[in-house]
C-alpha cells in the first residue's frame, strides 16, 4: 500500500496519520529543513497544550501541495487574553501596559499568561476602586457601669440561664475578649434617647438573650455571626445598631449617593417582615425600601431612585437592579445576611458574590442563621407541648379534619406540608367542607401570598397551610398550634416549625403525624422530645428500634457482599 493510500485510509477512520519528510511534504526538503520543522511542531505542541491536526487535514494538505502552519501562540502579560484565527500573522496595536509577543516558535519554558501580573493588576484596580470613599465610623458603644462591673462568674451564670448562650471569637491569632452581655435596654442605648423611645413605645420589658449579647458586639463595630431560632428578637439585634450606625457616619446622608444599610434575605416573605420591623421603629427619618422578586419591578426602581437609606432585598432582584445600574451599592457600610445558611441552600451564592463585588470591603457585616444548633434544641422547643401521632398516609386527612373541626374560635394554626401540590389539594378539600383556610407556597402569585398572610395575621382566617420555604419570615406571635401534616426533611426544620408557636413568652402546642416512611428520623425525634421533657409514644420507640435493626442488617449484607481478597484497582 502506498503512503498516499495509507493516509487516505487513516483519514476515513478518524485518525490523523503521522507524516514523514517524504511523500506529501515533497521529496525536495533537506534533512536540516525537516529537523527544523520537527523542532517547531514539537515546541508548539509542548507550549500550546498538545495541539493536534484534525483528522483528514494531512491528506488535504498533501493534495494542495502546501505546508500547514501550527496555531499562533501568544505570551500575554496583562489581563487581556486574545486569539488569532487563520494562518496569517496579524499585527495588533498593543494596549497600555501590554507586552505581547507573536512567534511561530515558542519555547517550552515561556508562560502563556503571567498570572502574577494579573493578580497584581487586579489588586491595583481594587485599591483604586475604593480609594476615594469616605472613612467609616463603627464604634458607638459606651459600656454602662453595671455591665462593666459584672464578674466572670455572673457572666457565665447569665449565659447558662439564658438558653446556654455560647460565644467564640473566630478571628485568627490572639483572641479578643467577648463583650459582657447587657441586662437592660439602658445599658446599651443610654446615649441614644430616640432608640429608647422606640423601645418604650413597643412595650418591651427587657432584651431577649440574643439582643443582650449581640448589641454590645455590634455596637462596637465587630462583625457578628448570630445563631438563634425565629421569634427570639434577632431582627432587632441588628436593626437597632444599624440605625445608630447610619445616622452617625461622618459623611452626611444626603452626600452618600446610595443606601448605607443592606439587608439580604432568602425569601420575599422574610424581606417584607424585616421591612415592616424597620418601618415600625422610626429613627432620624431613615427611609427604607423592600426589593424582591415577584413584586412591582418598576415601582421598586422608582423607590430606589428617590433615595433610600436602607434596602431590604432578596438576592435575585437586587442582583437584577445592580447589573442594570439602577442601584449604587458602593455607599453600603452596614451589611446584613439574614438567614445566610438558607440563602446558600437555595443556590443564591452566585448572586450574593456579585452583590458583594460592589460593596466596600471594610464594611461591617452581620450574619444570622435562622435554625438553632443541635445543642440548643431542647431549649428551643421547651415552651411547646409536642404531640406525636403514628399513622398512615391514608389516615392523615381524617386526623387533620378532626383536629380542625374541634378548634376553638380563638385558636390559630399553621399546617405544614411537604409539597405545593399537597397544600393546594388539602386547602381545596377543607374549603369544600366549609372550613375557611389560606394556603402559602411558591407557585402562588405574590399578591395572593401577601393577601393570605394579611388575612392570617389579622385573624380573618385562622388556618394557614404552608410549605417550609414559603413560611420563612412568617412572624405571627399568636399562633396557638403547629400541625405537621408531613414531617420535614430534617430534624432541624422540625424544630424551626415547632418554634412558630410558644413565642414571646406564650405557650403553644404542636401535632406531628408520623408514618413508617419517616422512621429514619425517629431516633433524632426521640432525643428532641427527651430533652424537652415531652412524652414519647411507644410506637415511636419501636419505629426507631426497627430502623436501627434494618440499617444494621443492610450494612452487614453490604459488608458480606464485598469481593474477597485484594481490592481491584480501577484506572
pLDDT tens, position by position, 482-510? 999 999 988 878 888 888 888 766 789 99
From residue 515, how far is each of 426, 484, 485, 486, 548 by CA, in Å?
Answer: 18, 12, 10, 9, 16
Q: Do domains 145-369 and 376-556 have the same CATH topology?
A: yes
pLDDT over 60 at 285, yes or no: yes
Which of residues 321 and 380 earns the better pLDDT score? 321
Task: List beta partners, residue 364.
Answer: 334
- Contact predicate 496/371, CB 8 Å: yes
- Checking if the pLDDT of 137 tops 90, the result is yes
- Domain 145-369 CATH assignment equals 3.40.50.300: yes
Q: Nearest CA to 245 among 277, 223, 216, 220? A: 220
The SS3 call for residue 162 is coil
Comparing 82-96, 232-246, 447-461, 505-519, the range with the smallest average pLDDT is 82-96
215 pLDDT more than 90: yes
Q: The C-alpha cell of 221 is what?
A: 463595630
Beta strands in 201-246 (DSSP E): 224-227
Distance CA 89, CA 104 (A): 9
Across residues 95-118, what is the average pLDDT? 61
Check residue 31 and give its pLDDT.
52
Contact (CB, 8 A) for 144 and 186: yes
pLDDT at residue 371, as a whole number: 56
Task: Give the range among 17-31, 113-127, 489-503 with minimum mean pLDDT.
Answer: 17-31
Q: What is the pLDDT of residue 393?
A: 93
Quote the CA–CA distance of 87 and 462 in Å, as a whole number. Answer: 76
What does each C-alpha distance from 411 to 103, 382, 387 come to in angstroms?
81, 20, 17
Mind spelling out the 3-state secondary structure of 38-106? HHHHHHHHHHCCCCCCCCCHHHHHHHHCCCCCCCCEEEECCCCCCCCCCCCCCCCCCCCCCCCEEECCC
- 109 band by pLDDT with thresholds 50, 70 and 90: low
Beta bridge partners of 113: 76
Strands 73-75 and 288-291: unpaired
Least confident segment among 104-113, 169-178, 397-406: 104-113
Within 10 angstroms of residue 530's Cβ, the number of other Cβ atoms is 11
At 562, the pLDDT band (50, 70, 90 cuts) reads low
Cell of 160: 447558662
Which range among 11-20, 22-31, 513-522, 549-558 has the greatest average pLDDT? 513-522
Q: What is the rounded average pLDDT of the residues 521-536?
A: 89
Residue of 188, 235, 243 lying closest to 212 (CA atoms): 188
User: Using CA atoms, how far apart are residues 24 and 53, in angstroms rounded to an integer?
Assistant: 15
- Choose between 34 and 256: higher pLDDT: 256
Distance separating alpha carbons of residues 35 and 304, to the nearest angstrom: 69
Q: Which residues contact 130 (CB under 8 A, 6 or more apart)?
A: 330, 360, 361, 362
Please compute the mean of the pLDDT values over residues 241-256 and round it to a whole number: 93
Residue 95 — pLDDT band, cuts 50, 70, 90?
A: very low
pLDDT for 537 = 93
**Mean of per-residue pLDDT scores for the chain:** 80
What pLDDT is recorded for position 507?
Answer: 83
pLDDT of residue 12: 45
Beta bridge partners of 337: 264, 367
Beta bridge partners of 227: 369
Check pLDDT > 60 for residue 272.
Answer: yes
Please report, for the chain, the start and end positions of each structural domain, with discontinuous segments joined by +.
Answer: 3-103, 145-369, 376-556
* Mean pLDDT calculated for residue range 57-64: 46
**376-556 belongs to which CATH class?**
alpha beta
Q: Tell me: pLDDT of 92 over 70.
A: no
Q: Is the pLDDT of residue 46 over 60?
A: no
Average confidence (pLDDT) over 332-337 = 98
Predicted local distance difference test score (pLDDT) of residue 315? 96
At a CB cut-off of 8 Å and minimum separation 6, what does 380 contact? Answer: 163, 229, 372, 495, 498, 499
From the list 271, 269, 167, the residue with the least C-alpha distance to 227 is 167
Round to whole Å and give the CA distance between 542 and 384.
24
Instruction: For residue 472, name the pLDDT band (cuts at 50, 70, 90).
Output: low
* 347 — pLDDT class (breaks 50, 70, 90): confident
Alpha-carbon span 113 to 102, nearest angstrom: 13
Amino acid at each position: 500500500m502506498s503512503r498516499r493510500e495509507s493516509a487516505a485510509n487513516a483519514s476515513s477512520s478518524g485518525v490523523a496519520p503521522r507524516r514523514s519528510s517524504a511523500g506529501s511534504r515533497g521529496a525536495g526538503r533537506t534533512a536540516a529543513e525537516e529537523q527544523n520543522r520537527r523542532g517547531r511542531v514539537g515546541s508548539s505542541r509542548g507550549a500550546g497544550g498538545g495541539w493536534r491536526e484534525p483528522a483528514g487535514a494531512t491528506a488535504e494538505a498533501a493534495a494542495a501541495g502546501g505546508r500547514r502552519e501550527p496555531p499562533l501562540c501568544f505570551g500575554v502579560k496583562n489581563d487581556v487574553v486574545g486569539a488569532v484565527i487563520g494562518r496569517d500573522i496579524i499585527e495588533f496595536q498593543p494596549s497600555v501596559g501590554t507586552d505581547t509577543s507573536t512567534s511561530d516558535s515558542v519555547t517550552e519554558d515561556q508562560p502563556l499568561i503571567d498570572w502574577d501580573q494579573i493578580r497584581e493588576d487586579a489588586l491595583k484596580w481594587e485599591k483604586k476602586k475604593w480609594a476615594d470613599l469616605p472613612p467609616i465610623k463603627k464604634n458607638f458603644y459606651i459600656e454602662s457601669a453595671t455591665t462593666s462591673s459584672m464578674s466572670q462568674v455572673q457572666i457565665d451564670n447569665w449565659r447558662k440561664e439564658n438558653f446556654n448562650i455560647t460565644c467564640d471569637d473566630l478571628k485568627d491569632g490572639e483572641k479578643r475578649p467577648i463583650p459582657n452581655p447587657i441586662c437592660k435596654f439602658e445599658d446599651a442605648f443610654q446615649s441614644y434617647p430616640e432608640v429608647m423611645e422606640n423601645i418604650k413605645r413597643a412595650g418591651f420589658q427587657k432584651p431577649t438573650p440574643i439582643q443582650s449579647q449581640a448589641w454590645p458586639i455590634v455596637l462596637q463595630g465587630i462583625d457578628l455571626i448570630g445563631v438563634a431560632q425565629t421569634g427570639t428578637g434577632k431582627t432587632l439585634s441588628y436593626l437597632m445598631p444599624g440605625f445608630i450606625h447610619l445616622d452617625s457616619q461622618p459623611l452626611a446622608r444626603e452626600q452618600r449617593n446610595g443606601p448605607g444599610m443592606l439587608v439580604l434575605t432568602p425569601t420575599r416573605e422574610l424581606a417584607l417582615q424585616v421591612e415592616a420591623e424597620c418601618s415600625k421603629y422610626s429613627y432620624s427619618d431613615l427611609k427604607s425600601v423592600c426589593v424582591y422578586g415577584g413584586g412591582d419591578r418598576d415601582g421598586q426602581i422608582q423607590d430606589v431612585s428617590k433615595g433610600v437609606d436602607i434596602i431590604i432585598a432578596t438576592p435575585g432582584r437586587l442582583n437584577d437592579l445592580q447589573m442594570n445600574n439602577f442601584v449604587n451599592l458602593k455607599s453600603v457600610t452596614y451589611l446584613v445576611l439574614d438567614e445566610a445558611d438558607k440563602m446558600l441552600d437555595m443556590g443564591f451564592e452566585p448572586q450574593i458574590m456579585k452583590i458583594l463585588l460592589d460593596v466596600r470591603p471594610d464594611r461591617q457585616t452581620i450574619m444570622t442563621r435562622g435554625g438553632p444548633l443541635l445543642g440548643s434544641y431542647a431549649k428551643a422547643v421547651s415552651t411547646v407541648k409536642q404531640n406525636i401521632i403514628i399513622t398512615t398516609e391514608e389516615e392523615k386527612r381524617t386526623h387533620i379534619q378532626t383536629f380542625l373541626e374541634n378548634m376553638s374560635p380563638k385558636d390559630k394554626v399553621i399546617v405544614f406540608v411537604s409539597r405545593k401540590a399537597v397544600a393546594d389539594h388539602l386547602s381545596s378539600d377543607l374549603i369544600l367542607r366549609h372550613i375557611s383556610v389560606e394556603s402559602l407556597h411558591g407557585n402562588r402569585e405574590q399578591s395572593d401570598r401577601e393577601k393570605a398572610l394579611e388575612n392570617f395575621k389579622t385573624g380573618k382566617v385562622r388556618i394557614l397551610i404552608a410549605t417550609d420555604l414559603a413560611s420563612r419570615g412568617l412572624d405571627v406571635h399568636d399562633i396557638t398550634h403547629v400541625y405537621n401534616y408531613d414531617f420535614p426533611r430534617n430534624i432541624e426544620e422540625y424544630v424551626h416549625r415547632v418554634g412558630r408557636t410558644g413565642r414571646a413568652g406564650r405557650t403553644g402546642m404542636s401535632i406531628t403525624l408520623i408514618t413508617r416512611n419517616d422512621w429514619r428520623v425517629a431516633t433524632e425525634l426521640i432525643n428532641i422530645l427527651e430533652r424537652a421533657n415531652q412524652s414519647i409514644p411507644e410506637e415511636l420507640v419501636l419505629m426507631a428500634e426497627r430502623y436501627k435493626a434494618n440499617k444494621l442488617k443492610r450494612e452487614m449484607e453490604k459488608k458480606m457482599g464485598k469481593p474477597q481478597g485484594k481490592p481491584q484497582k480501577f484506572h
